[in-house]
Amino acid sequence: MKIKNICCIGAGYVGGPTMAVIAENCPHIKVTVVDLNAQRIKDWNDEDLSNLPIYEPDLAGVVKIARGRNLFFSTDVEKAIHEAEMIFISVNTPTKTYGVGKGMAADLKFIELCARQIADVSKTDKIVVEKSTLPVRTAQTINTILTSKQNGVKFQVLSNPEFLAEGSAIADLYNPDRVLIGGGDSKDDQLAVQALFEIYNNWVAKDKIITTNLWSSELSKLTANAFLAQRISSINSFSALCEKTGSDIDEIAQAVGADSRIGSKFLKSSVGFGGSCFQKDILNLVYLCRQFNLPEVADYWEQVIKINDYQKNRFVKNIIYSLFNTVSGKKIAILGWAFKKDTNDTRESPAIYVTDQLLQDKAEIHIFDPKVCAKQIYSDLEDIQIQRKNIYSGGLQVLSINAIRKMVKVHNNPYNALKDSHAVCILTEWEEFKTYDWKKVYKNMLKPAFLFDGRGVLLKEAINEIGFNFYSIGK
């Protein structure tokens, strides 16, 4: 079966770049990316490529080649489903904020909605590909919905989880460590697996495309993310011990990472991991384990999240203690809002948590990020208040939108954010922070001036020499 027409539902951080790379490498296939969010589609179609809704190195170049040729962005979901032989589902699966599994389970309402829409609209056979990270056995749910119409249309459901990391999405898509395709055993299922295999094989070598059964494929994504997040929580747990003992976390990481069985990647200690996947997927894994009555396994993985929360908390406490036990009315500059460098994605970014905690202690916050806009920053801070209302109880205040607007200012120029501040916190590892004139920054700050590096961006000796009171994680 040769695919000529692909539809992808969800023009987000995964759907957008993935489809752009498929379209570029497969000029013989028409790829239409659809989204309910009309503004997002408008931005994807913007003449000016610097207005694409997602910032990702090299993405604009790929879009430039394929857009209008065989890559299209549209809000007409039904038409795109109708025309396609293969439909990727790449909608978001956030953590549930209500009812059963609140705060842990993956919310599959968007997935269900897509499946229902595909079932309603389809007049010809379709291959439906799960791209979103999903709890194991979701393919069965999708299949049940798709086949419920009994109108003679045949559906094959495949799992093809995306392993790209934001900030390196295009490079990861071009040159993946592996592509994973999971499918059923029937002849039709295997033909569907083969069809997707051939699409990737246009630019990915055969030996890098792994085929498995559906459930292994679904669970592999959660397993990979759990392993990666666990490494960060493991190294971060040692960062606290380093600070008590005079050991240096980067030296430890180098020594430990040199062991090829352990390896050097994902050993950078930080204020904690963020992003749309790690926290969500691990909470989801914990929930899944509890559902299958495996409490010990659930507790084990929950600890990875607990260490991540502990690390963010520890960072904030350290700021408050260092600033003589209060930050009330003090000006604190935050450099970096994205969850990591080279992306404008802010989901679960430690910066949100750290800022919110500082606001609870009545600090005045001045923020600069090279790629995140003010609107996004305010909306993140407002969302965490809503979450607090919904999920957490405890003694933390719910801040009003007005209070947030009063206490938080977002700057377009880093030096303005830093001027007259009591302290600076680096919360994203943007390369440009290394190039700032730190002597000038120091001169324009209130004394004693504090610098808290949550990402290991700056060199301790150089910063101490300038006169800062410098804190870097695990040192």
Closer CB to ligand UDX, 227 or 321, in the complex:
227
User: Closer to ligand UDX at the Cβ: 182 or 275?
Assistant: 275
Burial of 219 (0-12, 13-18, 19+ CB in 10 A): buried
Q: Least CB distance from residue 449 to ligand UDX, whole Å?
A: 26
Alpha carbons within 13 angstroms on the beta-carbon side of residue 219 total 10
Q: Which of 245, 269, 247 is nearest to 257 (CA)?
A: 269
Q: Candidates 159-167, 173-181, 298-306, 307-315 — which segment interacts with ligand UDX by CB under 6 A?
A: 159-167
What residues from 15 to 44 belong to the interface with ligand UDX (CB under 6 A)? 15, 35-37, 40
For residues 378 and 402, what is the distance between their CA atoms, to the nearest angstrom?
Answer: 11
228 binds ligand UDX (CB under 6 A): yes
The nearer residue to ligand UDX, 36 or 374, going by C-beta atoms, is: 36
- Of 117 and 416, CB closest to ligand UDX: 117
**Residue 126 buriedness (CB in 10 A; 0-12 / 13-18 / 19+):** buried
Interaction with ligand UDX in 39-78: which residues (CB under 6 A)? 40
Comparing CB distances to ligand UDX, the nearer of 29 and 89 is: 89
- Sort residue 167 into left (φ over 0), alpha (ψ -120 to 50) or beta: left
- DSSP-assigned beta bridge partners for residue 368: 335
Q: Does the footprint of ligand UDX cover residue 92 (CB under 6 A)?
A: yes
Tell me whether residue 26 is one of the annotated catalytic residues.
no
**Residue for token pair 């039904």:** 78
Q: How far apart are CA 378 and CA 372, in angstroms?
A: 11
Parallel/antiparallel/unpaired status of strands 364-368 and 126-130 = unpaired
Q: Does 163 bind ligand UDX (CB under 6 A)?
A: yes
Stretch that binds ligand UDX, among 62-70, 86-94, 120-128, 462-470 (CB under 6 A): 86-94
| Interaction of residue 310 with ligand UDX, rule CB under 6 A | no
- How many other β-carbons are positioned within 10 Å of the β-carbon of residue 303? 16
Whole-number Å distance between alpha carbons of 275 and 12: 14
Question: Site for ligand UDX (CB under 6 A): which residue of 1, 121, 153, 165?
Answer: 165
Single out the catalytic residue among 8, 26, 277, 425.
277
How many Å apart are CA 246 and CA 452, to the nearest integer? Answer: 18
Segment interacting with ligand UDX, rule: CB under 6 A, options 91-99, 141-149, 293-301, 397-405: 91-99
182 binds ligand UDX (CB under 6 A): no
Least spacing, CB of residue 458 vs ligand UDX, in Å: 16
Return the number of the residue (32 or 421) whose C-beta is nearest ligand UDX: 32
Q: Please select the residue that binds ligand UDX; options are 96, 312, 330, 340, rule is CB under 6 A.
A: 340
The two three-digit tokens of residue 138, written as one number? 């979701």
Q: Binding of ligand UDX at residue 91 (CB under 6 A)? A: yes
Q: Interface with ligand UDX includes 130 (CB under 6 A)?
A: no
Using CB under 6 A as the binding rule, whether residue 113 contacts ligand UDX is answered as yes
From the list 63, 11, 78, the residue with the least C-alpha distance to 40 is 11
DSSP notation for 109-141: HHHHHHHHHHHHH--S-EEEEE-S---TTHHHH
Nearer to ligand UDX, 163 or 436 (CB): 163
Asked whether position 162 contacts ligand UDX by CB under 6 A, the answer is yes
CB burial of residue 147 (10 Å; 0-12, 13-18, 19+) = middle
Task: Among 12, 182, 336, 370, indicate the residue that binds ligand UDX (CB under 6 A).
Answer: 12
C-alpha closest to that of 173 among 202, 198, 139: 202
| 3, 6, 7, 9: which one binds ligand UDX (CB under 6 A) | 9
- Evaluate the omega torsion of the peptide bond into residue 448 and state whether it is cis, within 30 degrees of 0: yes
Q: Any idea which residues carry the catalytic annotation?
A: 277
Question: Which spans of this chain sit near ligand UDX (rule: CB under 6 A)?
Answer: 9-15, 35-37, 40, 90-93, 110, 113-114, 131-133, 162-166, 225, 228, 232, 266-268, 270, 273-278, 339-340
